[in-house]
Chains A and B, each alone.
Chain A
């Protein structure tokens, strides 16, 4: 089957850097993606890694190590508006399932 693990909560201060880790197990792995969800809203796509290495999109970066079944989302220059839940997700080419992790609640403090 497929499973993903993320920390349940992370707290950081404005202007800081925070890293949210994700470990996964899946067959037919295609890639790891990250999503942000503000309270009451729908998830929005942030970043996707199909190959090992770092992908940078503005203040957000995402990293993947396929050999370690591990990835992380790095948020720099934290702002209050970054307070939200963050989910990693894996897509299996073997099953066509897109499975999400349990989510990490990020609280940014002033």
Chain B
């Protein structure tokens, strides 16, 4: 069966510090991978998505970046965090038809 791992679950980082969130998928190959951010009580904002290794599409221009160094690995990064980067970050995978998406546990990031 397929599983998705995302870590860490919670993170407190000072303004200006770097960020690296990692997500890995098991039990499937060539998945579509997604990074979303969710503010408290709000919807899911699509940040980045990828249909293959090295293929990254960005939805929101900001100080975040994403990479997909391996088929089932998706990394969200920042060189210098801003206060506005605080939120609940969710990684998800879906099949190539996007019929259903499965989410990692999420990372609750607080920038202080």
Contact with B along A86-106 (1 / 0, CB 8 A): 010101110011111111000
Q: Are A100 and B44 in contact (CB under 8 A)?
A: yes
Q: Are B103 and A42 in contact (CB under 8 A)?
A: yes
Kindly state the separation between the CA atoms of A31 and B90 in the bound complex, as whole angstroms.
21
Kindly state the separation between the CA atoms of A99 and B100 in the bound complex, as whole angstroms.
12
- Closest chain A CB from B23 CB (angstroms): 12
Question: A101 contacts which of B43, B59, B97, B104 (Cβ < 8 Å)?
Answer: B43
- Closest chain A CB from B102 CB (angstroms): 6
- Per the CB 8 Å criterion, the residue count for chain A at the interface is 24
Q: Are A33 and B101 in contact (CB under 8 A)?
A: yes
Q: Are B49 and A96 in contact (CB under 8 A)?
A: yes
29 residue pairs of the A-B complex, CB under 8 angstroms, read A30-B99, A31-B97, A33-B98, A33-B99, A33-B101, A41-B106, A42-B90, A42-B103, A42-B104, A43-B90, A43-B103, A45-B102, A48-B99, A50-B99, A91-B98, A96-B96, A96-B98, A97-B46, A97-B49, A98-B46, A98-B49, A100-B36, A100-B43, A100-B46, A101-B43, A102-B42, A102-B43, A103-B42, A103-B44
What 3 A-B pairs have minimum CB-CB distances, sorted nearest first?
A91-B98, A42-B103, A100-B44
- Other A-B pairs beyond A33-B100, A43-B90, A87-B43, 7, CB < 8 Å: A41-B106, A42-B104, A42-B105, A44-B103, A48-B99, A98-B32, A98-B94
Seen from chain B, the residues whose Cβ lies within 8 Å of a Cβ on chain A are: 32, 34, 36, 42-44, 46, 49, 51, 57, 59, 90, 92, 94, 96-106
